[in-house]
Homo-oligomer: A and B are copies of this chain.
Amino acid sequence: MSEHAKQSLPHRRTRHDHSTEIAEDYVEAVAEITTEGSSCRVVDLAKYFGVSHVTVNRTVGRLQNEGLVKTEPYKPIKLTPKGKRLADKCRERHEIVYQFLLAIGVDPQTAAIDAEGIEHHVSPKTLDCFVRYSSKL
């Protein structure tokens, strides 16, 4: 019975975070695509995520409302300072998770896939443990 109270906290957290994950994925992608040469367009993100340009468009609109990106019609997508900060944080975390998976013996391709899924659910504390372990080798 009091099990429920104890359990509900983790679950509640997991559930809500979903739309945040997408925001993180997008700013990460915008950062990566932008630095990779030219600018980041809707079509780039559509290819990157394997979704239609419509989905990208609406999501970018949401991110703009949240102050993470900046766009004008038919113009490239840029990160705001806030978006840049988030992207940097995510990129760093992503790298830590990826390197950690490699460190425990996961093959690079699997590590790349799993890191994508895992990164959003790793708390700072756990991330610390990842760093500590990776650097121990």
Contact = CB atoms under 8 A, between A and B. Distances in A.
A3 interface: yes
A106 to B, nearest CB: 5
Majority DSSP secondary structure for residues of A touching B:
helix
Contacts of A107: 125
Interface residues of A, number: 46
A65 interface: no
B4 A48 contact: yes
A58 interface: no
A112 interface: yes
A9 B110 CA distance: 11
A36 interface: yes
Contact of A132 (B4, B47, B105, B125): B105
Interface string A110-137: 1111111110111101100110110000
Of A14, A18, A113, A129, chain B has the most CB atoms within 10 Å of the CB of A14
Contact of A126 (B48, B110, B133): B110
A17 interface: yes
7 contacts: A10-B112, A10-B116, A13-B116, A15-B50, A107-B125, A111-B126, A118-B118
